[in-house]
Amino acid sequence: MGALNILAAIAGGALIAAGLACMIGGAIGVLRFPDFYTRLHGARAADGVGAALFLAGLAIVSGDGAIALRLALLAVLVIALAPLMAHLSANAAHVGGLAPLAGSYKAPRPGVRRDES
């Protein structure tokens, strides 16, 4: 039984690490992208998958069947609702009159204020 617990801990830890890596990528996208719509895409595409992987890893590591089932159901709920929340956010921004950036975008250089470039 000890080897099975070690394999479960390794698999769960790998899923948790992969989920955290996806969520960090989404956070970088929010910080790096220029407008609301591209930030929303970067965050929702990465964070939905990252949260589901994280919850699946926690379900494997939990050791209790009831808690693992609840975490697995929560992961399914996150996967199902992440695209819906992104759509509702984008629709609310569009209805509110927020226009996406048009044309080419030049990223600001680090250390230079926006009014200087």
15-50 pLDDT per residue, tens: 999 999 999 999 998 888 888 898 998 888 888 899
pTM: 0.79
DSSP 101: P
- Say what the pLDDT of residue 1 is: 64
Q: How far apart are CA 95 and CA 55, in angstroms?
A: 34
Listed residue (18, 26, 24) closest to 45, CA to CA: 26
Contact between residue 53 and residue 15 where contact means Cβ atoms under 8 Å apart: yes
Q: Taking CA 77 as the corner, what is the angle to CA 23 and CA 20, rounded to the nearest 5 degrees?
A: 15
Q: With DSSP H G I counted as helix, E B as strand and the rest as coil, what are the percentages for the chain, rounded to 5?
A: 75, 0, 25
Domain residue ranges in the chain:
2-95
- Say what the pLDDT of residue 24 is: 94
Q: If pLDDT is split at 50, 70 and 90, which confidence band does 114 have?
A: low
In which residue are the tokens 């930030």 written?
39
User: How many C-beta atoms lie closer than 10 Å to residue 63's C-beta?
Assistant: 12
pLDDT over threshold 80, residue 4: yes
Q: How far apart are CA 68 and CA 61, in angstroms?
A: 8
Q: What is the per-residue pLDDT across 41-75, written as a single tens digit (0 to 9) for each?
A: 888 888 889 999 999 999 999 988 999 999 999 99
